[in-house]
C-alpha cells in the first residue's frame, strides 16, 4: 500500500516513487537524529532531558510519517488525518504529564497514610 493512485497537483494518476537518493538522505537524517538522542541521553540536563528526547522523537516520527508513509504526497484528507493523529498524541501526552506533575501538588489525607488506632490495637488483643 505504499503506492497510491490519487491525482496530484499536476492532474496525473501515477503513484509517487521516491528516488533512492532521497531515501538515503532520509536515512542519514534519522541516523543523525538518533546519534543526537544518544548524545543527549549521556548529558545530565535534569528535567530538560525528557523534553529534548520528546522533541527529537517527534521530529523523527514526523519524518517517518511524511516520507516512508508517503503522507507528504497524499491527498489533503490523508494529511488532515495524520495531523489529527499527532494532535491527539500531543493531547494525550499533555494529560499524562498534567497528572504526573499534579500528583505532588495535593497531599493525601492522613487517614489514607496511617492506619486507624483500632486496627493497631487488634493484633495486641489477640496475643493475650
Condensed to tens digits (0 to 9), the pLDDT of residues 57-114 reads 989 999 998 888 888 888 999 999 999 998 998 899 899 988 888 887 777 777 777 6
pTM of the prediction? 0.59
CB atoms within 10 A of CB 27: 13
Query: What is the reported pLDDT for 88?
Result: 94
Q: What are the backbone dihedrals phi and psi of residue 73, each rounded to the nearest 5 degrees, phi first?
A: -105, 10
Domain ranges of the chain: 1-75
Question: Comparing C-alpha atoms, which of 82, 79, 76, 72 is closest to residue 16?
Answer: 72
Residue 120 has pLDDT above 80, yes or no: no
Amino acid at each position: 500500500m505504499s503506492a497510491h493512485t490519487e491525482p496530484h497537483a499536476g492532474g496525473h494518476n501515477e503513484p509517487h516513487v521516491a528516488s533512492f537518493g532521497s531515501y538515503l538522505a532520509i536515512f542519514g537524517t534519522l541516523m543523525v537524529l538518533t546519534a543526537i538522542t544518544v548524545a543527549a541521553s549521556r548529558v545530565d540536563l535534569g528535567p530538560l532531558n525528557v523534553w529534548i528526547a520528546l522533541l527529537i522523537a517527534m521530529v523523527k516520527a514526523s519524518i517517518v510519517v511524511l516520507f516512508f508513509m508517503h503522507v507528504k504526497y497524499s491527498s489533503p484528507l490523508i494529511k488532515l488525518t495524520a495531523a489529527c493523529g499527532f494532535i491527539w498524541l500531543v493531547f494525550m501526552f499533555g494529560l499524562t504529564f498534567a497528572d504526573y506533575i499534579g500528583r505532588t501538588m495535593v497531599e493525601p489525607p492522613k487517614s489514607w497514610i496511617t492506619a486507624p488506632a483500632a486496627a493497631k490495637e487488634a493484633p495486641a488483643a489477640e496475643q493475650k
